[in-house]
Amino acid sequence: MTDEPAVKLSASLPAGDRNGLPAIASALVEQPGDVHAAVVLLRAREIRTNTRTGAALATAEFLAIEPCPASSPDAATLHRLLREHYGRRTGNVELPLDQQDEEDNQDPAELWPQPGPEFDSDVDDPW
């Protein structure tokens, strides 16, 4: 029986100027609870297949990471894209009126979803 493929992230970051995270290092240290937006490029670095079950596990690696400050005019666009792609993937689509009201009344920095308990728990790795 084959399970759906799973994915995990490689611990390594892109080298050189492809890693934009140092630009927000101070903000991460000074405001550790803040959520930061970034545009990332990924690809599969490795794919492992469990020969007994047929389950595949892809390890994704970062090719580039570029933070987008909340003060940037692009922050609202990134949030809109995040909502749209999340809606397409999950079927949880917001009504256009809800989106417009939210965008009119909130600072773009407040539009980012806050991490929930699922980000704090370790997931058992079957590998």
In this prediction, residue 93 carries a pLDDT of 83
Could you tell me which residues are beta bridge partners of residue 59?
8, 46
- What are the CA-CA distances from residue 92 to residues 75, 107, 113, 115 (Å)? 21, 23, 14, 18
Q: pLDDT band at residue 32, thresholds of 50, 70 and 90? A: very high
Tell me, yes or no, if the pTM score tops 0.85. no
Query: Does residue 42 have a pLDDT over 70?
Result: yes
CB 6 within 8 A of CB 60: no
Rg of the chain over Cα atoms, rounded to whole angstroms, equals 18
Could you tell me which residues are beta bridge partners of residue 39?
66
In this prediction, residue 101 carries a pLDDT of 54
Helix (H) or strand (E) holding 65: strand 56-68
